[in-house]
A = this chain, B = another copy of it.
Amino acid sequence: MNDAPPDHALRGNVFSEHCPSREVLKHVTSRWGVLLLVALGDGAQRFGELRRRVGGISEKMLAQTLVWLEQDGFVQRIVQSAAPPRVEYRLTPLGEEISGKMAELADWLENNLGAMLAAQQKTPGTQIAGV
């Protein structure tokens, strides 16, 4: 098939309230979406592997988030057998791209965590009470 759709035919605008890109943005930046995309960047992995790797995720949210990412075209679900259920999740080419970006973000965050924690401890010039 001609799997090169006209990406240029349509351009989103995340600043526009009703742009469909908002929905995708919501999925990839969701609490677990970003972590799953980064984790899958290392290659196809099984349900249980992902569950163990992403600290704190519940089965429900793992399944839910994988569905989102699959529907958006970032992840492909591959059933390898059925006797003992064996399912793998792997990034699509589209998913590889966004995974790379999220990995960059995560990596930068991990490296600069010190600076942020330092910032958090400084006396806020304008503090809002009760936040």
State how many copies of this chain the complex holds. 2
Given contacts A128-B63, A131-B64, contact A7 B101 (CB under 8 A): no
- State which of B30, B70, B114 has its C-beta within 8 Å of the C-beta of A6: B114
Given contacts A105-B105, A120-B71, contact A112 B94 (CB under 8 A): yes
Whether a CB of chain B sits under 8 angstroms from the CB of A85 is: no
Whether a CB of chain B sits under 8 angstroms from the CB of A119 is: yes
A30 neighbours in B (Cβ, 8 Å) = 29
Residues of chain A touching chain B, judged by Cβ–Cβ distance below 8 Å, are 4-18, 20-21, 24-26, 28-31, 34-35, 38-39, 53-56, 63-64, 67, 70-73, 76-80, 88, 94, 97-98, 101-102, 104-106, 108-120, 124-129, 131
